[in-house]
């Protein structure tokens, strides 16, 4: 019987998350060619009203906002406690202007946009799969596979430029320092990365050991193709309702052949119609009743984007407040406490924890009495790895001054 994986290895990031920035406030960027529905999607996700006109490069400077992460667990806790203050988790989203073929060499508004993509932590890659003569396509025809290839090629080209500059810098530094040599790990890692990018393969798809991952994070922290990607396929309203489109199978196959990833079909056209019924319950019901069972894809996008960034959250709940606290998966209890306040981490004593599912199953009131009676209310120390959905009360003591 194989040995059980320890808590640390079980919570180590996988896939693209291996290369991500370790912090609690991360961003998903909406990326794609011009006029594929990026800004309209941003409006819908964040309930804003930014420009989304029908011509290339309408968006120049990136727009940033946030959207609440939908969670039935949070809603249930709020309904139970009915506190005056309620704070959900949020996904931060950036609307980035459209890329075109040749962007890596400066075409369109190329390099500025590529730097905006480099600044986010994950990518919503929007692909157009609808025909509409009134919405121009930058390449004059609708071909999602060609568009996917274009975006991936431009991102790989830009990363290849990053790698070349980082390699030149390392060589210069070595020449300046007597006795210093280029390490074998550096050479092998850079060769592997360059070979992938030259073949238009994103770095996140590569097989790298822990030393190589560490080197990429240290020397190539601005790579674009290490970022996680969620593919969003924008359909016509009719295709979305009937759950069929001539491109979907081809797009799915392309994604699987290029590193895999989550693919979410949606429709800006359908979502916009639903949005306009927001203040009309009867109209909303009538619209949904006539939509052949279709439901909004926006909640799934937000939840998946949050997950791809390797983020989770724990709850604090009481008479005055129910709140989600965002942390990186694998965070230890003292660091999780520090998200609430630095004093909580500095003076950490213990975490009193109950899993949401246990609380929901056992509690018949706001009290923890039944949970404690069932042995599901735990006291955890400094080595405890916080799990998604934990309900936590921290004990701390900061009577002693911190070290200086």
Binding residues for ATP: 35-40, 235
In this predicted structure, what is the pLDDT of residue 136? 57
- Name the more confident of 22 and 342: 342
In this predicted structure, what is the pLDDT of residue 47? 83
Q: What is the pLDDT of residues 21-33, one digit of tens each?
A: 666 678 999 998 8
Q: What is the pLDDT of residues 251-302, one digit of tens each?
A: 999 999 988 899 999 999 999 999 999 999 999 999 999 999 999 999 999 9
Nearest-5° Cα angle at 362, 361 to 368: 130
Q: What is the pLDDT of residues 182-237, one digit of tens each?
A: 889 999 999 999 999 999 999 999 999 999 999 999 999 889 999 999 999 999 99
Domains of the chain: 7-308 (3.40.50.300), 331-396 (3.10.20.30)
Q: Which residues 6+ apart lie within 8 Å of 161 measured at CB?
A: 104
The answer to whether 162 and 67 have CB atoms below 8 angstroms apart is no
d(CA 106, CA 99): 10
Binding residues: 35-40, 235
Q: For 213-347, list the strands marked E by DSSP.
A: 229-234, 262-266, 311-317, 321-328
Fill in the DSSP letter of residue 385. Answer: B
What CA–CA distances, in Å, run from 308 to 128, 200, 221? 22, 22, 18
């Amino acid at each position: 019987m194989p040995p059980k994986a320890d808590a640390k290895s079980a919570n180590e990031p996988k896939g693209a998350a291996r290369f991500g920035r370790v912090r609690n406030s991360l961003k998903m960027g909406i990326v794609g060619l011009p006029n594929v529905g990026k800004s309209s999607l941003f409006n819908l996700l964040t309930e804003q009203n930014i420009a989304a006109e029908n011509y290339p490069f309408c968006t120049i400077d990136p727009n940033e906002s946030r959207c609440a992460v939908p969670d039935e667990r949070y809603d249930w806790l709020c309904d139970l406690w009915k506190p005056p203050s309620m704070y959900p988790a949020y996904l931060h989203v950036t609307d980035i202007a459209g890329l075109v073929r040749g962007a890596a060499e400066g075409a369109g508004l190329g390099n500025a946009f590529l730097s905006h993509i480099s600044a986010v932590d994950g990518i919503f890659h929007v692909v157009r799969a609808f025909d509409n003569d009134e919405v121009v396509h930058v390449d004059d025809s609708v071909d999602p596979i060609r568009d996917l290839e274009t975006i991936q090629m431009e991102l790989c080209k830009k990363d290849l430029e990053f790698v070349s500059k980082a390699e030149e810098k390392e060589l210069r530094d070595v020449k300046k320092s007597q006795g210093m040599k280029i390490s074998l790990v550096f050479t092998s890692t850079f060769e592997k990365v360059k070979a992938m990018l030259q073949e238009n393969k994103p770095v996140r798809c590569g097989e790298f050991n822990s030393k190589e991952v560490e080197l990429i994070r240290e020397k190539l922290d601005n790579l674009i193709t290490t970022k996680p990607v969620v593919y969003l396929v924008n359909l016509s309203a009719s295709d979305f309702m009937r759950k069929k489109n001539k491109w979907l199978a081809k797009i799915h196959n392309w994604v699987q052949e290029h590193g895999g990833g989550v693919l979410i079909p949606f429709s800006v056209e359908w979502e916009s119609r639903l949005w306009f019924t927001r203040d009309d319950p009867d109209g909303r019901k009538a619209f949904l009743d006539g939509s052949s069972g279709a439901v909004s894809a926006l909640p799934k996008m937000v939840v998946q984007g949050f997950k791809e960034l390797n983020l989770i959250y724990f709850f604090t709940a009481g008479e005055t407040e129910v709140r989600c606290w965002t942390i990186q998966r694998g965070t230890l209890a003292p660091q999780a406490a520090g998200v609430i306040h630095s004093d909580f981490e500095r003076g950490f004593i213990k975490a009193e924890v109950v899993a949401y599912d246990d609380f929901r199953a056992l509690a018949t009131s706001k009290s923890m009495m039944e949970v404690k009676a069932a042995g599901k209310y735990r006291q955890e120390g400094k080595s405890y790895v916080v799990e998604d959905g934990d309900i936590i009360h921290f004990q701390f003591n900061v009577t002693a001054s911190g070290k200086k």
